[in-house]
Amino acid sequence: MKIVCIIQARMGSTRLPGKVMLDLCGKTVLERVVERVKRIKNIDEIVVATTTKKDDDIIIEKALNCGVKVFRGSEEDVLSRYYLAAKKYDANVIVRITSDCPLIDSIVTENIIYYYLKNIYKFDYVSNTLTRTYPRGLDTEVFSFESLERAFQNATLDRDREHVTTYIWKNPDVFKLGCYKNDKDYSHLRWTLDTSEDYELIKRIYNHFCSFNNVNFNMKDVINLYEIDKKLNNINNMVKQKEV
Protein backbone atom coordinates (compact mmCIF):
# COMPACT_ATOMS: atom_id res chain seq x y z
CA MET A 1 0.00 0.00 0.00
CA LYS A 2 1.46 3.34 -1.06
CA ILE A 3 0.52 6.46 0.90
CA VAL A 4 1.10 9.69 -1.01
CA CYS A 5 0.78 13.17 0.47
CA ILE A 6 -0.28 15.66 -2.19
CA ILE A 7 0.25 19.34 -1.36
CA GLN A 8 -1.67 21.70 -3.60
CA ALA A 9 0.02 25.02 -4.28
CA ARG A 10 -0.25 27.92 -6.69
CA MET A 11 0.86 31.53 -6.89
CA GLY A 12 -2.63 32.82 -7.65
CA SER A 13 -4.64 33.82 -4.60
CA THR A 14 -7.50 36.30 -4.50
CA ARG A 15 -6.81 37.54 -0.97
CA LEU A 16 -3.03 37.22 -0.73
CA PRO A 17 -1.34 36.69 -4.12
CA GLY A 18 1.97 34.82 -4.02
CA LYS A 19 1.43 33.80 -0.40
CA VAL A 20 3.30 30.49 -0.76
CA MET A 21 6.50 32.46 -1.48
CA LEU A 22 6.26 34.72 1.58
CA ASP A 23 9.16 34.51 3.99
CA LEU A 24 9.10 32.65 7.29
CA CYS A 25 12.48 32.89 9.01
CA GLY A 26 14.52 32.67 5.82
CA LYS A 27 12.45 30.07 3.99
CA THR A 28 9.29 30.36 1.92
CA VAL A 29 5.89 29.26 3.19
CA LEU A 30 5.97 26.38 0.70
CA GLU A 31 9.38 25.24 1.95
CA ARG A 32 8.12 25.34 5.55
CA VAL A 33 5.08 23.25 4.65
CA VAL A 34 7.21 20.64 2.87
CA GLU A 35 9.71 20.68 5.74
CA ARG A 36 6.97 19.89 8.22
CA VAL A 37 5.27 17.28 6.01
CA LYS A 38 8.62 15.48 5.67
CA ARG A 39 8.45 14.75 9.42
CA ILE A 40 5.31 12.64 8.94
CA LYS A 41 6.53 9.08 9.40
CA ASN A 42 3.74 7.11 7.75
CA ILE A 43 3.79 8.52 4.20
CA ASP A 44 5.76 7.07 1.29
CA GLU A 45 5.87 10.00 -1.14
CA ILE A 46 5.34 13.76 -1.12
CA VAL A 47 4.04 15.47 -4.26
CA VAL A 48 3.56 19.20 -4.79
CA ALA A 49 0.74 19.61 -7.30
CA THR A 50 0.55 22.99 -9.00
CA THR A 51 -0.85 24.41 -12.22
CA THR A 52 0.47 24.63 -15.77
CA LYS A 53 0.64 28.44 -15.57
CA LYS A 54 3.99 30.13 -16.09
CA ASP A 55 3.61 31.93 -12.77
CA ASP A 56 3.80 28.58 -11.02
CA ASP A 57 7.22 27.64 -12.43
CA ILE A 58 8.70 28.95 -9.18
CA ILE A 59 6.66 26.41 -7.23
CA ILE A 60 8.12 23.57 -9.29
CA GLU A 61 11.61 24.95 -8.75
CA LYS A 62 11.17 25.26 -4.96
CA ALA A 63 9.55 21.82 -4.65
CA LEU A 64 12.34 20.11 -6.59
CA ASN A 65 14.91 21.92 -4.47
CA CYS A 66 13.13 20.46 -1.43
CA GLY A 67 13.62 16.98 -2.87
CA VAL A 68 9.95 16.13 -3.43
CA LYS A 69 8.02 15.07 -6.52
CA VAL A 70 5.96 17.50 -8.61
CA PHE A 71 2.88 17.47 -10.81
CA ARG A 72 1.25 20.10 -13.00
CA GLY A 73 -2.43 20.16 -13.88
CA SER A 74 -5.53 22.31 -14.15
CA GLU A 75 -5.72 25.53 -12.14
CA GLU A 76 -9.50 25.50 -11.73
CA ASP A 77 -10.23 21.76 -11.77
CA VAL A 78 -8.16 20.89 -8.72
CA LEU A 79 -9.99 17.58 -8.39
CA SER A 80 -8.54 16.47 -11.73
CA ARG A 81 -5.13 17.75 -10.69
CA TYR A 82 -5.26 15.63 -7.55
CA TYR A 83 -6.60 12.58 -9.32
CA LEU A 84 -4.02 12.66 -12.11
CA ALA A 85 -1.20 13.29 -9.61
CA ALA A 86 -2.35 10.37 -7.46
CA LYS A 87 -2.58 8.16 -10.54
CA LYS A 88 0.87 9.16 -11.81
CA TYR A 89 2.51 8.30 -8.50
CA ASP A 90 0.52 5.08 -7.94
CA ALA A 91 -1.15 6.21 -4.73
CA ASN A 92 -3.42 3.79 -2.89
CA VAL A 93 -4.09 6.28 -0.10
CA ILE A 94 -3.98 10.06 -0.49
CA VAL A 95 -3.19 12.54 2.27
CA ARG A 96 -4.39 16.01 1.32
CA ILE A 97 -2.52 19.01 2.69
CA THR A 98 -2.73 22.57 1.35
CA SER A 99 0.20 24.94 1.02
CA ASP A 100 -1.49 27.60 3.14
CA CYS A 101 -0.89 25.56 6.31
CA PRO A 102 2.70 26.34 7.41
CA LEU A 103 1.88 25.30 11.00
CA ILE A 104 0.77 21.80 9.95
CA ASP A 105 1.60 19.41 12.81
CA SER A 106 3.25 16.16 11.73
CA ILE A 107 2.08 14.35 14.87
CA VAL A 108 -1.56 15.33 14.31
CA THR A 109 -1.38 14.28 10.65
CA GLU A 110 0.35 11.01 11.55
CA ASN A 111 -2.39 10.20 14.03
CA ILE A 112 -5.12 10.87 11.45
CA ILE A 113 -3.38 8.61 8.93
CA TYR A 114 -3.03 5.86 11.56
CA TYR A 115 -6.71 6.24 12.43
CA TYR A 116 -7.65 5.87 8.76
CA LEU A 117 -5.43 2.80 8.31
CA LYS A 118 -6.79 1.22 11.47
CA ASN A 119 -10.31 1.68 10.13
CA ILE A 120 -9.57 1.23 6.42
CA TYR A 121 -12.50 -1.16 5.91
CA LYS A 122 -14.82 1.11 7.85
CA PHE A 123 -14.10 4.48 6.21
CA ASP A 124 -13.44 5.78 2.70
CA TYR A 125 -12.46 9.20 4.01
CA VAL A 126 -11.18 10.50 7.35
CA SER A 127 -10.40 14.10 8.32
CA ASN A 128 -10.23 16.52 11.23
CA THR A 129 -12.37 19.01 9.31
CA LEU A 130 -15.86 17.44 9.24
CA THR A 131 -16.34 18.57 12.83
CA ARG A 132 -13.66 21.06 13.69
CA THR A 133 -11.83 20.69 17.00
CA TYR A 134 -8.32 21.52 15.78
CA PRO A 135 -7.05 24.99 14.87
CA ARG A 136 -7.83 25.85 11.26
CA GLY A 137 -4.54 25.29 9.48
CA LEU A 138 -3.88 21.78 10.78
CA ASP A 139 -6.35 20.40 8.23
CA THR A 140 -5.63 16.85 7.13
CA GLU A 141 -7.77 14.68 4.86
CA VAL A 142 -7.02 11.00 4.17
CA PHE A 143 -8.92 8.99 1.59
CA SER A 144 -8.64 6.04 -0.77
CA PHE A 145 -7.69 6.32 -4.41
CA GLU A 146 -10.99 4.61 -5.25
CA SER A 147 -12.91 7.40 -3.52
CA LEU A 148 -10.91 10.07 -5.33
CA GLU A 149 -11.52 8.30 -8.63
CA ARG A 150 -15.25 8.09 -7.98
CA ALA A 151 -15.35 11.80 -7.18
CA PHE A 152 -13.31 12.58 -10.31
CA GLN A 153 -15.70 10.58 -12.49
CA ASN A 154 -18.96 11.84 -10.98
CA ALA A 155 -18.50 15.39 -9.67
CA THR A 156 -20.04 17.93 -12.04
CA LEU A 157 -20.45 21.13 -9.99
CA ASP A 158 -17.68 23.73 -10.29
CA ARG A 159 -17.44 23.84 -6.49
CA ASP A 160 -16.79 20.10 -6.34
CA ARG A 161 -14.12 20.27 -9.04
CA GLU A 162 -12.37 23.24 -7.42
CA HIS A 163 -12.22 21.95 -3.85
CA VAL A 164 -11.22 18.28 -4.39
CA THR A 165 -13.07 16.60 -1.53
CA THR A 166 -16.41 18.42 -1.30
CA TYR A 167 -18.08 15.80 -3.49
CA ILE A 168 -16.91 13.11 -1.06
CA TRP A 169 -17.99 14.71 2.20
CA LYS A 170 -21.20 16.12 0.73
CA ASN A 171 -22.32 12.58 -0.16
CA PRO A 172 -22.31 10.56 3.07
CA ASP A 173 -24.77 8.13 1.49
CA VAL A 174 -22.11 7.21 -1.08
CA PHE A 175 -18.90 7.48 0.96
CA LYS A 176 -18.20 6.22 4.47
CA LEU A 177 -16.90 9.24 6.39
CA GLY A 178 -14.78 9.27 9.54
CA CYS A 179 -14.25 12.28 11.80
CA TYR A 180 -11.06 12.64 13.84
CA LYS A 181 -11.49 14.89 16.88
CA ASN A 182 -9.21 16.41 19.46
CA ASP A 183 -9.94 16.00 23.18
CA LYS A 184 -10.26 19.76 23.55
CA ASP A 185 -11.87 22.16 21.09
CA TYR A 186 -9.38 24.61 19.57
CA SER A 187 -11.43 25.34 16.46
CA HIS A 188 -11.57 29.04 17.35
CA LEU A 189 -7.86 29.37 16.53
CA ARG A 190 -7.00 30.37 12.96
CA TRP A 191 -3.55 29.24 11.77
CA THR A 192 -4.16 29.13 8.03
CA LEU A 193 -2.65 31.66 5.61
CA ASP A 194 -5.17 33.54 3.53
CA THR A 195 -4.80 37.22 4.45
CA SER A 196 -2.14 39.71 5.53
CA GLU A 197 -3.42 39.38 9.10
CA ASP A 198 -2.90 35.62 8.94
CA TYR A 199 0.64 36.18 7.69
CA GLU A 200 1.38 38.59 10.53
CA LEU A 201 0.28 36.00 13.08
CA ILE A 202 2.15 33.09 11.51
CA LYS A 203 5.27 35.22 11.05
CA ARG A 204 5.24 36.17 14.73
CA ILE A 205 4.87 32.52 15.73
CA TYR A 206 7.78 31.48 13.51
CA ASN A 207 9.94 34.38 14.67
CA HIS A 208 9.37 33.37 18.29
CA PHE A 209 10.39 29.75 17.81
CA CYS A 210 13.21 30.55 15.38
CA SER A 211 14.71 32.80 18.04
CA PHE A 212 15.18 29.61 20.08
CA ASN A 213 16.41 27.71 16.98
CA ASN A 214 13.29 25.55 17.14
CA VAL A 215 11.55 24.94 13.82
CA ASN A 216 10.13 21.62 15.03
CA PHE A 217 7.48 23.26 17.21
CA ASN A 218 4.05 21.62 17.26
CA MET A 219 0.43 22.44 18.08
CA LYS A 220 0.95 22.20 21.84
CA ASP A 221 3.93 24.55 21.66
CA VAL A 222 1.91 27.17 19.80
CA ILE A 223 -1.04 26.85 22.19
CA ASN A 224 1.38 27.37 25.08
CA LEU A 225 2.67 30.48 23.30
CA TYR A 226 -0.90 31.82 23.17
CA GLU A 227 -1.00 31.50 26.96
CA ILE A 228 2.14 33.61 27.20
CA ASP A 229 1.26 36.18 24.53
CA LYS A 230 -2.43 36.98 24.92
CA LYS A 231 -2.34 39.42 21.99
CA LEU A 232 -1.73 36.72 19.39
CA ASN A 233 -5.39 35.81 19.01
CA ASN A 234 -6.31 39.43 18.29
CA ILE A 235 -4.15 39.60 15.16
CA ASN A 236 -6.47 37.64 12.85
CA ASN A 237 -9.54 36.75 14.90
CA MET A 238 -11.71 39.07 12.77
CA VAL A 239 -10.82 37.33 9.50
CA LYS A 240 -13.77 35.51 8.00
CA GLN A 241 -13.12 32.13 6.40
CA LYS A 242 -14.15 31.79 2.76
CA GLU A 243 -17.06 29.40 2.42
CA VAL A 244 -16.69 26.25 0.33
Q: How confident is the model at residue 194 (pLDDT cuts 50, 70, 90)?
A: very high
- Alpha helices per DSSP H over the chain: 29-37, 57-65, 78-88, 106-118, 145-154, 158-162, 166-169, 196-210, 219-228, 232-236
Q: How far is CA 6 from CA 9, 15, 103, in A?
A: 10, 23, 16
Residue 241 has pLDDT above 70, yes or no: no
The count of C-alpha atoms lying within 13 angstroms of the C-alpha of 132, restricted to the half-sphere facing its C-beta, is 10
190 CB-near residues (< 8 Å, 6+ apart): 135, 136, 137, 198, 201, 236, 237, 239, 241
pLDDT tens per residue across span 29-47 = 999 999 999 999 999 999 9
CATH topology of domain 3-188: Spore Coat Polysaccharide Biosynthesis Protein SpsA; Chain A (3.90.550)
DSSP 16-44: STTGGG-EETTEEHHHHHHHHHTT-TT-S
Are 37 and 125 contacting, i.e. CB atoms less than 8 angstroms apart?
A: no
Residue 240 has pLDDT above 80, yes or no: no
Q: How confident is the model at residue 14 (pLDDT cuts 50, 70, 90)?
A: confident
Are 164 and 84 contacting, i.e. CB atoms less than 8 angstroms apart?
A: no
Residue 179 has pLDDT above 60, yes or no: yes
Q: How is the chain split into domains, by residue range?
A: 3-188
